[in-house]
Protein backbone atom coordinates (compact mmCIF):
# COMPACT_ATOMS: atom_id res chain seq x y z
CA UNK A 1 0.00 0.00 0.00
CA UNK A 2 1.27 3.41 -0.87
CA UNK A 3 1.32 6.42 1.40
CA UNK A 4 -1.83 8.41 1.96
CA UNK A 5 -2.94 10.24 -1.11
CA UNK A 6 -6.30 11.71 -1.90
CA UNK A 7 -8.35 8.98 -3.53
CA UNK A 8 -8.38 9.11 -7.31
CA UNK A 9 -11.68 9.91 -9.00
CA UNK A 10 -13.59 6.73 -9.82
CA UNK A 11 -13.55 7.52 -13.52
CA UNK A 12 -9.78 7.65 -13.61
CA UNK A 13 -9.43 4.35 -11.80
CA UNK A 14 -11.95 2.60 -14.00
CA UNK A 15 -10.46 3.95 -17.17
CA UNK A 16 -7.00 2.77 -16.20
CA UNK A 17 -8.24 -0.72 -15.35
CA UNK A 18 -10.31 -1.00 -18.50
CA UNK A 19 -7.47 0.23 -20.66
CA UNK A 20 -5.08 -2.30 -19.14
CA UNK A 21 -7.59 -5.12 -19.70
CA UNK A 22 -8.26 -3.99 -23.22
CA UNK A 23 -4.54 -3.89 -24.03
CA UNK A 24 -4.08 -7.34 -22.57
CA UNK A 25 -6.93 -8.87 -24.56
CA UNK A 26 -6.77 -7.02 -27.85
CA UNK A 27 -3.14 -7.95 -28.36
CA UNK A 28 -4.05 -11.60 -28.87
CA UNK A 29 -5.44 -12.35 -32.34
CA UNK A 30 -6.83 -15.76 -31.37
CA UNK A 31 -9.05 -14.16 -28.70
CA UNK A 32 -10.58 -11.94 -31.38
CA UNK A 33 -10.88 -14.84 -33.79
CA UNK A 34 -12.97 -16.80 -31.29
CA UNK A 35 -14.98 -13.73 -30.32
CA UNK A 36 -14.12 -13.75 -26.62
CA UNK A 37 -14.79 -10.62 -24.54
CA UNK A 38 -14.22 -9.79 -20.90
CA UNK A 39 -16.52 -8.23 -18.35
CA UNK A 40 -14.84 -6.56 -15.41
CA UNK A 41 -16.23 -5.73 -11.99
CA UNK A 42 -13.44 -4.49 -9.77
CA UNK A 43 -10.79 -7.14 -10.11
CA UNK A 44 -13.29 -9.86 -11.04
CA UNK A 45 -13.23 -10.93 -14.67
CA UNK A 46 -15.84 -12.91 -16.56
CA UNK A 47 -14.94 -14.19 -20.00
CA UNK A 48 -17.75 -14.26 -22.54
CA UNK A 49 -17.76 -16.44 -25.65
CA UNK A 50 -20.23 -14.96 -28.12
CA UNK A 51 -21.80 -17.80 -30.02
CA UNK A 52 -21.33 -17.90 -33.76
CA UNK A 53 -21.96 -20.63 -36.31
CA UNK A 54 -18.33 -21.23 -37.06
CA UNK A 55 -17.72 -22.33 -33.45
CA UNK A 56 -19.85 -25.41 -34.03
CA UNK A 57 -18.27 -28.83 -33.66
CA UNK A 58 -21.34 -30.98 -34.11
CA UNK A 59 -23.72 -29.59 -36.70
CA UNK A 60 -26.44 -32.16 -36.01
CA UNK A 61 -27.05 -31.10 -32.41
CA UNK A 62 -25.70 -28.38 -32.87
CA UNK A 63 -22.99 -28.00 -30.24
CA UNK A 64 -19.87 -25.92 -29.69
CA UNK A 65 -16.63 -27.61 -30.82
CA UNK A 66 -14.74 -29.24 -27.96
CA UNK A 67 -11.60 -27.47 -29.12
CA UNK A 68 -13.38 -24.13 -28.91
CA UNK A 69 -14.45 -24.94 -25.37
CA UNK A 70 -10.87 -25.88 -24.49
CA UNK A 71 -9.58 -22.69 -26.11
CA UNK A 72 -12.17 -20.57 -24.30
CA UNK A 73 -11.14 -22.06 -20.96
CA UNK A 74 -7.45 -21.62 -21.69
CA UNK A 75 -7.91 -18.01 -22.77
CA UNK A 76 -9.93 -17.34 -19.61
CA UNK A 77 -7.21 -18.91 -17.48
CA UNK A 78 -4.39 -17.02 -19.19
CA UNK A 79 -6.05 -13.62 -19.09
CA UNK A 80 -7.34 -14.22 -15.55
CA UNK A 81 -3.86 -15.14 -14.40
CA UNK A 82 -2.20 -12.19 -16.13
CA UNK A 83 -4.81 -9.89 -14.68
CA UNK A 84 -4.20 -11.13 -11.16
CA UNK A 85 -0.48 -10.94 -11.71
CA UNK A 86 -0.59 -7.37 -13.03
CA UNK A 87 -3.28 -6.03 -10.72
CA UNK A 88 -0.94 -4.37 -8.23
CA UNK A 89 1.00 -2.77 -11.07
CA UNK A 90 -2.15 -1.43 -12.65
CA UNK A 91 -3.44 -0.09 -9.34
CA UNK A 92 -0.15 1.61 -8.63
CA UNK A 93 -0.18 3.18 -12.07
CA UNK A 94 3.13 1.52 -12.94
CA UNK A 95 2.01 -0.49 -15.94
CA UNK A 96 2.06 2.27 -18.54
CA UNK A 97 -0.87 0.58 -20.23
CA UNK A 98 -1.48 3.48 -22.61
CA UNK A 99 1.67 3.42 -24.63
CA UNK A 100 4.16 0.95 -23.21
CA UNK A 101 4.58 -2.60 -24.38
CA UNK A 102 2.45 -5.00 -22.39
CA UNK A 103 4.25 -7.73 -20.47
CA UNK A 104 4.20 -11.14 -22.11
CA UNK A 105 1.51 -13.61 -21.22
CA UNK A 106 2.29 -16.62 -19.05
CA UNK A 107 3.02 -19.84 -20.94
CA UNK A 108 0.81 -22.86 -20.57
CA UNK A 109 2.67 -25.88 -19.24
CA UNK A 110 -0.30 -28.23 -19.21
CA UNK A 111 -4.05 -27.93 -19.41
CA UNK A 112 -6.74 -30.50 -18.58
CA UNK A 113 -10.32 -30.03 -19.66
CA UNK A 114 -13.37 -31.84 -18.30
CA UNK A 115 -16.25 -31.84 -20.73
CA UNK A 116 -19.33 -32.00 -18.53
CA UNK A 117 -22.13 -31.26 -20.97
CA UNK A 118 -22.43 -30.42 -24.58
CA UNK A 119 -21.89 -26.73 -25.33
CA UNK A 120 -25.19 -25.32 -26.52
CA UNK A 121 -25.40 -22.90 -29.45
CA UNK A 122 -25.51 -19.77 -27.31
CA UNK A 123 -23.15 -17.55 -25.33
CA UNK A 124 -20.88 -19.09 -22.73
CA UNK A 125 -19.20 -17.60 -19.69
CA UNK A 126 -16.10 -18.50 -17.72
CA UNK A 127 -14.27 -17.45 -14.61
CA UNK A 128 -10.78 -18.38 -13.56
CA UNK A 129 -9.42 -18.77 -10.07
CA UNK A 130 -5.70 -18.54 -9.42
CA UNK A 131 -5.12 -21.23 -6.82
CA UNK A 132 -1.46 -20.58 -6.50
CA UNK A 133 0.85 -18.07 -8.07
CA UNK A 134 4.53 -18.24 -7.33
CA UNK A 135 7.32 -16.35 -9.00
CA UNK A 136 7.77 -19.02 -11.68
CA UNK A 137 4.75 -21.29 -11.65
CA UNK A 138 1.03 -20.85 -11.27
CA UNK A 139 -1.93 -23.19 -10.94
CA UNK A 140 -5.29 -22.00 -12.23
CA UNK A 141 -8.80 -23.45 -12.29
CA UNK A 142 -11.53 -22.36 -14.68
CA UNK A 143 -15.25 -23.01 -14.78
CA UNK A 144 -17.51 -22.40 -17.76
CA UNK A 145 -21.29 -22.28 -17.90
CA UNK A 146 -24.06 -21.13 -20.18
CA UNK A 147 -27.54 -20.54 -18.85
CA UNK A 148 -27.11 -21.39 -15.22
CA UNK A 149 -24.08 -20.48 -13.21
CA UNK A 150 -24.18 -23.66 -11.14
CA UNK A 151 -24.60 -25.94 -14.15
CA UNK A 152 -21.11 -26.08 -15.60
CA UNK A 153 -20.62 -27.36 -19.12
CA UNK A 154 -16.86 -27.52 -18.82
CA UNK A 155 -14.12 -27.05 -16.27
CA UNK A 156 -10.36 -27.08 -16.49
CA UNK A 157 -7.20 -26.86 -14.50
CA UNK A 158 -3.84 -25.80 -15.82
CA UNK A 159 -0.29 -24.94 -14.88
CA UNK A 160 1.56 -21.94 -16.22
CA UNK A 161 5.07 -20.59 -16.39
CA UNK A 162 5.18 -16.93 -15.39
CA UNK A 163 7.08 -14.40 -17.50
CA UNK A 164 10.23 -13.07 -15.90
CA UNK A 165 9.48 -9.39 -16.22
CA UNK A 166 6.93 -6.96 -15.33
CA UNK A 167 9.02 -4.36 -13.58
CA UNK A 168 8.46 -5.71 -10.14
CA UNK A 169 7.50 -9.17 -9.07
CA UNK A 170 4.08 -9.07 -7.52
CA UNK A 171 4.36 -11.88 -5.05
CA UNK A 172 1.57 -13.95 -3.67
CA UNK A 173 -1.31 -12.18 -5.25
CA UNK A 174 -4.67 -13.72 -4.73
CA UNK B 1 -4.00 -44.03 -17.73
CA UNK B 2 -4.58 -47.73 -17.74
CA UNK B 3 -3.55 -49.62 -20.76
CA UNK B 4 -4.48 -53.23 -20.21
CA UNK B 5 -3.33 -54.62 -23.50
CA UNK B 6 -4.03 -53.33 -26.93
CA UNK B 7 -6.83 -54.99 -28.78
CA UNK B 8 -6.96 -53.04 -32.00
CA UNK B 9 -7.69 -56.18 -33.94
CA UNK B 10 -10.46 -57.30 -31.70
CA UNK B 11 -13.92 -57.51 -33.08
CA UNK B 12 -15.88 -58.42 -30.02
CA UNK B 13 -19.40 -59.71 -30.24
CA UNK B 14 -18.99 -60.24 -33.94
CA UNK B 15 -20.46 -56.84 -34.71
CA UNK B 16 -20.70 -55.93 -38.38
CA UNK B 17 -17.57 -53.93 -39.04
CA UNK B 18 -17.73 -51.19 -41.67
CA UNK B 19 -15.50 -51.54 -44.71
CA UNK B 20 -12.24 -49.68 -44.68
CA UNK B 21 -13.24 -47.29 -47.48
CA UNK B 22 -16.36 -46.47 -45.52
CA UNK B 23 -14.29 -45.69 -42.46
CA UNK B 24 -12.08 -43.32 -44.44
CA UNK B 25 -15.06 -41.71 -46.11
CA UNK B 26 -16.91 -41.25 -42.83
CA UNK B 27 -13.78 -39.82 -41.24
CA UNK B 28 -13.30 -37.29 -44.04
CA UNK B 29 -16.90 -36.24 -43.66
CA UNK B 30 -16.36 -36.09 -39.93
CA UNK B 31 -13.79 -33.34 -40.41
CA UNK B 32 -15.46 -31.71 -43.39
CA UNK B 33 -18.77 -31.35 -41.58
CA UNK B 34 -17.29 -29.56 -38.60
CA UNK B 35 -17.56 -25.79 -39.10
CA UNK B 36 -14.85 -24.88 -36.62
CA UNK B 37 -12.38 -27.39 -38.01
CA UNK B 38 -12.99 -25.93 -41.46
CA UNK B 39 -12.61 -22.38 -40.13
CA UNK B 40 -9.09 -23.15 -38.95
CA UNK B 41 -8.18 -25.14 -42.05
CA UNK B 42 -7.88 -28.61 -40.51
CA UNK B 43 -7.38 -31.37 -43.06
CA UNK B 44 -7.47 -35.09 -42.60
CA UNK B 45 -4.26 -36.44 -44.15
CA UNK B 46 -4.31 -40.08 -43.25
CA UNK B 47 -6.39 -42.47 -41.28
CA UNK B 48 -5.86 -46.03 -40.14
CA UNK B 49 -7.59 -48.35 -37.73
CA UNK B 50 -7.96 -46.30 -34.57
CA UNK B 51 -5.43 -43.82 -35.86
CA UNK B 52 -5.56 -40.44 -37.61
CA UNK B 53 -3.34 -37.62 -38.84
CA UNK B 54 -4.72 -34.10 -39.24
CA UNK B 55 -2.93 -30.91 -40.20
CA UNK B 56 -3.66 -27.28 -39.37
CA UNK B 57 -1.86 -24.55 -41.34
CA UNK B 58 -0.31 -21.53 -39.67
CA UNK B 59 -2.56 -18.51 -39.66
CA UNK B 60 -2.23 -15.03 -38.15
CA UNK B 61 -5.70 -15.48 -36.64
CA UNK B 62 -4.48 -18.30 -34.44
CA UNK B 63 -1.65 -16.34 -32.84
CA UNK B 64 -1.62 -16.31 -29.04
CA UNK B 65 1.55 -14.35 -28.31
CA UNK B 66 1.70 -11.28 -30.55
CA UNK B 67 5.32 -10.45 -29.76
CA UNK B 68 6.51 -13.78 -31.15
CA UNK B 69 3.74 -14.86 -33.53
CA UNK B 70 3.41 -18.20 -31.78
CA UNK B 71 0.10 -20.03 -32.21
CA UNK B 72 -2.21 -20.11 -29.17
CA UNK B 73 -2.19 -23.32 -27.17
CA UNK B 74 -5.96 -23.47 -27.48
CA UNK B 75 -5.71 -23.85 -31.24
CA UNK B 76 -3.35 -26.78 -30.76
CA UNK B 77 -5.84 -28.26 -28.26
CA UNK B 78 -8.60 -27.94 -30.82
CA UNK B 79 -6.49 -29.81 -33.36
CA UNK B 80 -5.61 -32.59 -30.88
CA UNK B 81 -9.23 -32.92 -29.80
CA UNK B 82 -10.46 -33.24 -33.36
CA UNK B 83 -7.70 -35.71 -34.21
CA UNK B 84 -8.51 -37.74 -31.10
CA UNK B 85 -12.14 -37.89 -32.14
CA UNK B 86 -11.15 -39.02 -35.63
CA UNK B 87 -8.96 -41.77 -34.17
CA UNK B 88 -11.89 -43.03 -32.12
CA UNK B 89 -14.24 -42.92 -35.11
CA UNK B 90 -11.83 -44.95 -37.19
CA UNK B 91 -11.50 -47.69 -34.62
CA UNK B 92 -12.25 -51.13 -36.09
CA UNK B 93 -15.23 -51.54 -33.78
CA UNK B 94 -16.97 -48.94 -35.96
CA UNK B 95 -18.34 -46.40 -33.46
CA UNK B 96 -21.23 -44.23 -34.62
CA UNK B 97 -20.33 -41.26 -32.50
CA UNK B 98 -17.93 -40.01 -29.90
CA UNK B 99 -17.41 -37.09 -27.54
CA UNK B 100 -14.50 -35.99 -25.42
CA UNK B 101 -14.82 -36.80 -21.73
CA UNK B 102 -11.52 -35.23 -20.80
CA UNK B 103 -8.34 -34.18 -22.50
CA UNK B 104 -5.01 -33.25 -20.98
CA UNK B 105 -2.49 -31.38 -23.10
CA UNK B 106 1.17 -30.97 -22.24
CA UNK B 107 2.78 -28.08 -24.06
CA UNK B 108 6.39 -28.97 -24.57
CA UNK B 109 7.55 -26.04 -26.65
CA UNK B 110 6.29 -23.11 -28.69
CA UNK B 111 5.26 -23.99 -32.23
CA UNK B 112 7.50 -22.35 -34.84
CA UNK B 113 5.67 -19.38 -36.38
CA UNK B 114 4.72 -19.94 -40.00
CA UNK B 115 4.72 -23.72 -39.83
CA UNK B 116 1.88 -26.20 -40.22
CA UNK B 117 1.00 -28.22 -37.15
CA UNK B 118 0.43 -31.94 -37.64
CA UNK B 119 -1.38 -33.99 -35.02
CA UNK B 120 -1.37 -37.76 -34.84
CA UNK B 121 -3.77 -39.52 -32.51
CA UNK B 122 -4.07 -43.17 -31.57
CA UNK B 123 -7.06 -44.77 -29.97
CA UNK B 124 -5.04 -47.36 -28.06
CA UNK B 125 -7.81 -49.03 -26.12
CA UNK B 126 -11.58 -49.21 -26.14
CA UNK B 127 -14.08 -50.68 -23.74
CA UNK B 128 -17.78 -51.06 -24.51
CA UNK B 129 -18.40 -47.34 -24.04
CA UNK B 130 -15.07 -45.60 -23.50
CA UNK B 131 -12.11 -44.96 -25.80
CA UNK B 132 -8.62 -44.08 -24.58
CA UNK B 133 -6.56 -41.81 -26.79
CA UNK B 134 -3.06 -40.42 -27.01
CA UNK B 135 -1.98 -37.71 -29.41
CA UNK B 136 1.15 -35.87 -30.48
CA UNK B 137 1.42 -32.52 -32.28
CA UNK B 138 4.49 -31.50 -34.26
CA UNK B 139 5.50 -28.60 -36.43
CA UNK B 140 7.98 -28.85 -39.31
CA UNK B 141 11.11 -28.54 -37.22
CA UNK B 142 12.87 -30.65 -34.67
CA UNK B 143 12.36 -33.91 -32.93
CA UNK B 144 10.58 -32.58 -29.89
CA UNK B 145 6.81 -32.45 -30.30
CA UNK B 146 5.03 -29.16 -29.77
CA UNK B 147 2.53 -30.88 -27.51
CA UNK B 148 1.28 -34.27 -26.41
CA UNK B 149 -2.18 -35.16 -25.18
CA UNK B 150 -4.05 -37.96 -23.54
CA UNK B 151 -7.75 -38.27 -23.03
CA UNK B 152 -10.85 -40.37 -22.66
CA UNK B 153 -13.70 -40.24 -25.16
CA UNK B 154 -17.19 -41.65 -25.13
CA UNK B 155 -17.80 -44.42 -27.64
CA UNK B 156 -21.20 -45.22 -29.02
CA UNK B 157 -21.41 -48.45 -30.93
CA UNK B 158 -23.62 -49.05 -33.87
CA UNK B 159 -25.33 -52.13 -32.55
CA UNK B 160 -25.62 -51.39 -28.86
CA UNK B 161 -29.27 -50.44 -28.86
CA UNK B 162 -29.30 -48.50 -25.65
CA UNK B 163 -26.66 -45.87 -26.27
CA UNK B 164 -26.12 -46.48 -29.93
CA UNK B 165 -29.44 -44.97 -30.90
CA UNK B 166 -29.08 -41.49 -32.25
CA UNK B 167 -30.01 -39.13 -29.50
CA UNK B 168 -31.09 -36.34 -31.71
CA UNK B 169 -33.24 -34.13 -29.60
CA UNK B 170 -32.67 -33.98 -25.91
CA UNK B 171 -29.46 -32.14 -25.43
CA UNK B 172 -30.82 -30.79 -22.21
CA UNK B 173 -30.87 -34.01 -20.25
CA UNK B 174 -27.61 -35.19 -21.70
CA UNK B 175 -26.16 -37.53 -19.15
CA UNK B 176 -22.77 -36.08 -19.74
CA UNK B 177 -21.14 -35.26 -22.97
CA UNK B 178 -24.08 -35.86 -25.15
CA UNK B 179 -21.79 -35.83 -28.13
CA UNK B 180 -20.44 -32.41 -28.85
CA UNK B 181 -19.97 -33.81 -32.26
CA UNK B 182 -20.67 -37.04 -34.04
CA UNK B 183 -19.63 -38.75 -37.18
CA UNK B 184 -22.94 -38.63 -38.90
CA UNK B 185 -23.13 -35.40 -40.85
Per-residue pLDDT at A96: 76
Q: Does B102 touch chain A (CB under 8 A)?
A: yes
**Pick from A16-25, A44-53, B25-34: least confident:** B25-34
Per-residue pLDDT at A154: 98
Residue A54 pLDDT > 70: yes
Rounded Cα distance between A58 and A115, Å, is 14
Which residues lie below 8 Å from residue B126, measured CB to CB, with a gap of 6+?
Answer: B7, B50, B88, B91, B93, B132, B155
Per-residue pLDDT at B16: 59
The answer to whether A120 contacts B171, with C-beta atoms less than 8 Å apart, is: yes
pLDDT in tens, B91-126: 999 898 899 999 999 999 999 999 999 999 999 999
Per-residue pLDDT at B182: 40
Per-residue pLDDT at A159: 98
List CB contacts (< 8 A) between B73 and chain A: 74, 108, 111
Tell me whether the omega of the peptide bond preceding residue A166 falls within 30 degrees of 0, making it cis: yes
3-state secondary structure chain A: CCCCCCCCCHHHHHHHHHHHHHHHHHCCHHHHHHCEEEEEECCEEEEEECCCHHHEEECCCCEECHHHHHHHHHHHHHHHHHHHHHHHHHHCCCCCCCCCCCCCCCEEEEEEEEECCCCCCCCEEEEEEEEEECCCEEEEEEEEECCCCCCEEEEEEEEEECCCCCCCCCCCCC
In chain B, where do the E strands start and end? 43-48, 51-56, 63-65, 70-71, 95-107, 117-126, 130-138, 147-157
Per-residue pLDDT at B185: 31
pLDDT in tens, B52-86: 999 999 999 999 988 899 999 999 999 999 999 99
pTM for this entry: 0.84
The answer to whether B74 contacts A74, with C-beta atoms less than 8 Å apart, is: yes
List CB contacts (< 8 A) between A118 and chain B: 99, 171, 174, 177-180
pLDDT in tens, B141-151: 988 999 999 99
Predicted complex ipTM: 0.87
Per-residue pLDDT at A7: 85
Rounded Cα distance between A161 and B174, Å, is 36
Q: Does A137 touch chain B (CB under 8 A)?
A: no
The answer to whether B177 contacts A115, with C-beta atoms less than 8 Å apart, is: yes
List CB contacts (< 8 A) between A117 and chain B: 174, 176-178
Residue B26 pLDDT > 90: no
Rounded Cα distance between A105 and A81, Å, is 9
List CB contacts (< 8 A) between B185 and chain A: 59-60
The answer to whether B171 contacts A113, with C-beta atoms less than 8 Å apart, is: no
The answer to whether A117 contacts B178, with C-beta atoms less than 8 Å apart, is: yes
Amino acid sequence: MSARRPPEPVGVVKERRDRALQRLVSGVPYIGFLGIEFDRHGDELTAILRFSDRLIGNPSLPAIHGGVTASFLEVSALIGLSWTWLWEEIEAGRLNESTGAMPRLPKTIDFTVDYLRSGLPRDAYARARVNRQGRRYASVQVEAWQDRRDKLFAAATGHFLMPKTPGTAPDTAQ
Amino acid sequence: MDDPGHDHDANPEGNPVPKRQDIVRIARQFIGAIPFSRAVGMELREIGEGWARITMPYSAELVGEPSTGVIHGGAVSALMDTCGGAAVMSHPTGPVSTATIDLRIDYMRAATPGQTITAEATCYHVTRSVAFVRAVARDETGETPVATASGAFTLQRATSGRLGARSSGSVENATQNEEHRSAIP
